[in-house]
Structure 1
Amino acid sequence: MSEVNQCSKLNENYRKHLNQPKFYVKYKGVMLPKYFSKFGDKIEKMDIKTSDIWVCSFPRSGTTWTQEMVWCIVNDVNLEAAKEILPKRFPFLEISSICNDKETMSMYPGIEIPDYILNSVDYVINLQSPRLIKTHLPFKMLPIKLQQNTTGAKIVYVIRNPKDLCISYYHFSRAGGLTATFDEYIDRFLYANGPYKPYWDHMLGYLNQSHNPNILLLRYEDMLKDLKTVIYKTAKFLGKNMKENQVEKLVDHLSFRNMKENRFVNYDMLLEERKKCNIADTDASLIRCGKLNQWKEVMSLESIEKFEKWEKENLNRIGLSQYNDV
């Protein structure tokens, strides 16, 4: 098949996927890809190692940034070793449930889909220690042994103001072919079923474990305001003593400019293939802005009112008065 025809077929498949209402279905009360049922039991029964480190989050909460920070702390800020694509050295546990259609995935022209995507659960299980693992699963769907807190494995959970998260998710979805307007997307974000929802229940599952000494809660906003302090805090949690020069080196490595330009973490290779096939906008970027309170600049008053009503209802339900109380 010619590259033009490959692109045409890929474009068609993406549009179908994007508009397929049942691609995400409820699995144990959580919206997950319909293929997740193939992997759920295996994940639930996974053995957990004492040296495991998990980065958990709701999508678009600063996960990639947190992953790179954790990886560098664990590996003594070895930036030469970090010149390997992030999903390989810090794999996404359930990505196979999203990309389980080999035929569709193989349509990426010239790209061989690796095991850490097509067989992600087995890839994680077989990783050598220390295993660094990313997941967007809620706490109640993590491996049972990890939930039981009997192994000493570590969890870093990162949260983000839901208004800014929504903006980030909108641009992420545009990179995947979404054609809805921002206001249309806000309604979808607030009121429609979608991946890993309900959002507030996802957050609450981890907040309820804040007493657990093996769980560290980080805020995206704190990383933006004072990254150095967050690095020291995370290193202490992971049992790593970092020298001042290492921390300074890592702060620079994790700067928005360097993260955006770092092809080992910014997923530009994948985006370039999508752009070739006219799926993603030509200006799409998965590391896009890195600003605090973007919502104040881009949301309409009507959208802000909708959002704040939704926030108030859900914060009251989980016993908080505002997001900053987290």
Structure 2
Amino acid sequence: MTDGYLWFEGIGFPVVGYSYEVLKEACAQFVIKDEDIVLVTYPKSGTHWLVEILCLIHSHGDTKWIRSVAIWDRSPWTETDDGYKLLNEREGPWLMSSHLPFHLFPKSLFTSKAKSSLPVSPPTSTGGHCRNPCTSHRELITMTDGYLWFEGIHFPVVGYSYEVLKEACAQFVIKDEDTVLVTYPKSGTNWMIEILSLIHSNGDTKWIRSVPFWERSPWIETDDGYKCLNEREGPRLMSSHLPFHLFPKSLFASKAKVIYIMRNPKDVLVSGYYHQSVMKLCKQPESLEQYFQWFMQGNVHYGSWFEHIRGWMSMRHRENVLLLSYEELQKDPRSTIERICQFLGKKLTPEELDSVLKNSSFQVMKQNKMSNYETLPVDLFTRPFLITRKGICGDWKNHLTVAQAEAFDKVYQEKMAGFSKGLFPWE
């Protein structure tokens, strides 16, 4: 508890009426049933007004209920101590309220048929940013500054389309036998695809040397990737950079294996700068300082790193989710690969494991044209470019100034407050 707030998963809550234990249990275990009605708002967006309306509708206009029972008892908050206790004691159907952000909301909502109401107020009236947590309720798109905007997040304009993004996020079906790799850009995606491809082929290099990585593990949200995955039979390997709130909801009802790999955000920033500086498909930063500002504001592909990792961290306790870091993969690749094999239920011989280790090394990947962007048209880049630039940890120290590092640390401490110590290896 700092600055008068109770911090939980990077979000500040009031210290009175809330507790860490109840927040943790409510977000992870609370069961929303088909007959329930759930009112979700950002604070100061008309919550009490709509509770009053819903209560009067429920009682057919009779005012006895609203005049005899307090508003927080009629529609208890799922995340408050008293509200959570009351909802668990109450027989259905329930009317309930919540201010929880999408990534912390009880996952039982996504598999239920409960009715959800989501009033939205302009950010000037709420004192903050306004984002509807249910993506199907807002369809905003513009192409400006070389970006394709979708649901407040910008994507590259080449290889992506509004129609595919909308359909993929809302309708794509993830199956129990699938393996899903999720990352924020520049966090080790291609490296992990190489490892997963080699594990899949028992260390045999034929697949990684004959098929580009974007076909081995297609991106759910790209035009070609979405088409490829829908045509593919059997267990599929797929990748995505999508933030948690845009991810296909079928994931939450499936037993698919999910691997989320994270990386020191300062290294992500530097790597992203070099990548975007050579790409003709998007707006290029004039300097590292300019890109630094973009990154801190979340004005980069796939939005804010802070929002991305906070969203996906809410899944880390699930049995079908494996959380990895770029840092541990580099420090001890063999042990990390063994963990991945165990998670996937894949048994490799010592010789096969040696092959995975050897052929997923940066030295070998740099020579593999199917893994280093060499097969892409040269006119996509301003200069020769390979995806494997350095592949080291801590390179940010060679690029960020002391002032930039201090400014970054200040924002990081604010955004990531509430997470347990030791969760992120770069801290």
Name the TM-score, length of structure 1 as normaliser: 0.79
TM-superposed CA distance for 1:238, in Å, is 0.5
Q: Distance in 2 between matches of 1:273 and 1:22?
A: 17
The corresponding residue for 2:399 is 298
2:416 maps to what in 1? 315
Taking the TM superposition and a 5 Å limit, the aligned residue runs for 1:120-199 are 120-148=225-253, 151-177=254-280, 178-199=284-305
The superposition leaves residues 56-105 of structure 1 with CA deviations (integer Å, 9 ceiling, x where unpaired) of 11111000001111121122122112221111121122122xxxxxxxxx
Q: Which protein, 1 or 2, shows the higher relative CO under an 8 Å CA cutoff with sep ≥ 6?
A: 1
For the pair 1:52 / 2:178, whether they are aligned, the reply is: yes
CA contact (8 A) 1:46 1:145 kept: yes
Structure 1 or 2: larger helix share? Answer: 1
Q: CA deviation at 1:186?
A: 1.0
CA distance in 2, matches of 1:155, 1:165: 21
Alignment partners' CA distance in 2, 1:236 and 1:321: 26
Partner of 1:232: 338
Find out whether 1:217 has 2:323 as its counterpart: yes
Deviation at 1:253, TM superposition (A): 0.5
Greater mean deviation of Cα atoms: 29-38 or 192-201: 29-38
CA contact (8 A) 2:242 2:302 kept: yes
Q: May I ask how many residue pairs the two structures share in their alignment?
A: 277
Counterpart secondary structure, 1:82: helix
2:306 paired with 1:200: yes
Return the letter of the residue paired with 1:21.
D
* Contact 1:55–1:133 under 8 Å retained in 2: yes
Q: Please give the alpha-carbon distance, in whole angstroms, between the structure 2 residues aligned to 1:52 and 1:273.
A: 35
RMSD: 2.2
Note the alpha carbon deviations across 1:133-182, whole angstroms, 9 max, x for none. 1110122322222123xx32111111000000011101111220425111
Contact 1:200 1:314 (C-alpha < 8 Å) held by counterparts: yes
**Which blocks of at least 5 consecutive residues in structure 2 are unaligned?**
1-142
Q: Percent identity?
A: 26
Highest Rg: 1 or 2? Answer: 2
Structure 1 unpaired stretches of 5+: 1-18, 97-116
Which stretch of the first structure deviates more once superposed, 219-228 or 122-131? 122-131
1:93 aligns with 2:220: yes
Match of 1:11 in 2: none
Distance 1:21 1:180 in 2: 14
Distance 1:235 1:268, change over 3 A: same
Q: Indicate conservation of the 8 Å contact 1:260/1:266, yes or no.
A: yes
How many angstroms does 1:300 deviate by?
1.2
TM-score of the two chains, using structure 2 as the length reference: 0.61
Give the deviation of 1:185 after TM superposition: 1.3
Shift of 1:267: 0.6
1:237 aligned counterpart, secondary structure: helix
